[in-house]
Homo-oligomer: A and B are copies of this chain.
C-alpha cells in the first residue's frame, strides 16, 4: 500500500497520520505472521530508529479502538495483532507457535446458517471466534 493510501486509511478511521502510525500500519499489513507488538517494533526500528516500543503499543491500541486491527490470543503468552481485512478464521500450532489466516466462506456460511435456525438460550450471538488447532505439514 502506498504512503498516500495509508494516510487516507488512517484518516478514514479518524486517526492523525503520524510517521509512527504509518510505519506500524504499513508493517502490520505487510507481515503475514500476525506479529506481536515487540516483533513489529523490531522490524520498524530498523527503518525508523527513534520509534519506541511504547509508541507501537499505543498505536496498536488506537488501531484496536477504531477497529483497524484485532487482537488474537493463542496459547502463546503475548498478544498478536491482525490487520482486519475480512472475516476469517485461524489455524494455529502451539508447538511451533505458528498462526495463519484461514478463509473459508463455506464454513462461515454453514455456521452462520446453523445459528439462524438454532437460537442459544439467553444469548445473542454477535461474532464467531474459531481457532483450528493442529499440525502444519
B-binding residues in A (CB < 8 A): 71, 73-75, 91-92, 102, 104, 106-107, 110-111, 114, 118, 120, 122-137
Interface of A is mostly: strand
In order of increasing CB-CB distance, the 8 nearest A-B pairs are A129-B131, A127-B133, A73-B73, A126-B134, A125-B134, A124-B135, A122-B137, A124-B134
Given A91-B123, A102-B120, A107-B114, check contact A130 B133 (CB 8 Å).
Answer: no
Docked complex Cα distance between A106 and B127 (Å): 19
B120 touches A91 (CB 8 A): yes
Given A107-B114, A110-B114, A114-B110, check contact A128 B129 (CB 8 Å).
Answer: no
Q: Chain B residues with Cβ under 8 A from A126's Cβ? A: 133-135
